[in-house]
Structure 1
């Protein structure tokens, strides 16, 4: 295990942070979260009693807010981001200033011996080549503004050095700050509540990873930082390079009433169609602990609690 460190997590009250922050605390680290609470939730309420936890309400783009927080940090995990192509396209300025420029500000404020570990999206691979795995050496061809801002931030962080980048597959699983719009989470929600989904681009393939395994990847990076530094790592399930259609078949194994069909009703703004190799991180001793079927079972239980009833009459 890594020695106890002071860790600053920007955007730590989001989907990833709501699982990662408690995991960092459990591992013995001291964690300060900076978050604007844009989504008006309290996903870290359960760790407020922890003596090694602190929270600051503020904007990760604001240098005056960042400067004093950065001074006492051994490592920074910049989770603050507008995540997903639709959200970024809806506010181009906020997406660029949060996803890229806030990271550039952090780099400027950090000393050379302070560490950065950041998540990026493997949608940066865009359209893959049929039958060929995307490795960390595969050229990045991001299509959306979201993909471009994350790729530019990653490039700056790795060029700065003393950093690790994790290129995350599509994340799934329950979290205190839940996101129902991610692909696996969305399809299971529809299977539970609608018992049906209409697919577009059903044979587009991508990779998947459980949210708790994302937290484990960051802990693994902290514990093995010197051996892993200054490289990007794909983080995904090597047995789950699946198309949307194949994903639905896996869900139907758990929920037999689930029906799905194909229709030309939309397109992925990131054109995500690729298969990913996770060999580099696996060679460092990291292995995911939560399979796709584990996540589906977990989500089915979670959706018995969660009702996205904001826009309904019943």
Structure 2
């Protein structure tokens, strides 16, 4: 399997930089593509390796897609506008990158080329109280971000020879660090100001550490035939938690944090659900990194590292 060529678009991003690193160090041949719009250094440590190639290209352009798909065995399309605020700000670009570019990849790829695609479980929108969303639950995306990702998942799934992961909200350190993601954001605010202002405190989410996400992708590469032509929720089952309980968990480690409930604000994404990860766990993969581990990691990062945070909004 290590002789396979793996293409990653959006490779310099929050997830892409971590996945590229893990795959290169594991000996896979990785072709990374990114515009380097937000971070120019997140892949710098990989240029030493002979099994790593990089192209600074726009993956919405047909000629670029045709070029990068050549001789690839596995395609991992990560390029996209991520998150509800960014997609609302740049609606046309969000549709072009998150959905139309995926359709082009499908159009120009060969049937034998395998695709592993991360969508989002924000597509569930608002889940039923007391009930977990599984892969058969209805999709009711509320944001443009959720809508574009759901549409892209549909066309990839219909193509076959693919695996789709519906990612929980990701947290933890990355070479291309983001602090707009909810856990990262809460920890940063508590660390900087000893304050957390929480609106819609009982909204529910599932979470997963970025290291677990990259491990799941490697699991999918190595067990493709067992997982293919299916959609899987991908999250940490122990991390189905409300926003207020997440804030209280952070306060355990940043004890001076004052938590205030704000009633005058609303969540633009409106997502509110707990998620079942039983399907992927029964196939043999289970996320392991706890929220507590991630919170402690982030506190150390914010305390000891001088990082320039360039968020997507």
Task: Give the TM-score category using the shorter length.
Answer: over 0.9
CA contact (8 A) 2:200 2:263 kept: yes
The aligned residue for residue 44 of structure 1 is: 43
The aligned residue for residue 206 of structure 1 is: 205
The aligned residue for residue 133 of structure 1 is: 132
d(CA) in 1 for partners of 2:39, 2:239 = 33
- Provide runs of 4+ in structure 1 moved above 3 Å: 306-310
- What's the offset of the Cα at 1:289? 2.6
- What's the offset of the Cα at 1:307? 5.7
Distance of aligned partners of 1:260 and 1:292 in 2 relative to their CA distance in 1, 3 Å threshold? same
List gaps (5 residues or longer) in structure 1: none
d(CA) in 2 for partners of 1:272, 1:4 = 41
Normalising by structure 1, what TM-score? 0.96
d(CA) in 1 for partners of 2:104, 2:283 = 30
Distance of aligned partners of 1:187 and 1:308 in 2 relative to their CA distance in 1, 3 Å threshold? farther
Normalising by structure 2, what TM-score? 0.96
The aligned residue for residue 12 of structure 1 is: 11
Give secondary structure in 2 for the equivalent of 1:198.
strand
The aligned residue for residue 285 of structure 1 is: 284
d(CA) in 1 for partners of 2:46, 2:148 = 31
- What's the offset of the Cα at 1:28? 1.8
Q: Give the 5 Å matches for 1:182-201.
A: 182-201=181-200
- What's the offset of the Cα at 1:309? 8.4
- What's the offset of the Cα at 1:124? 0.3
Is 1:220 aligned to residue 215 of structure 2? Answer: no
Is 1:32 aligned to residue 31 of structure 2? Answer: yes
- What's the offset of the Cα at 1:75? 0.6
- What's the offset of the Cα at 1:3? 4.0
The aligned residue for residue 232 of structure 2 is: 233
RMSD after superposition = 1.2
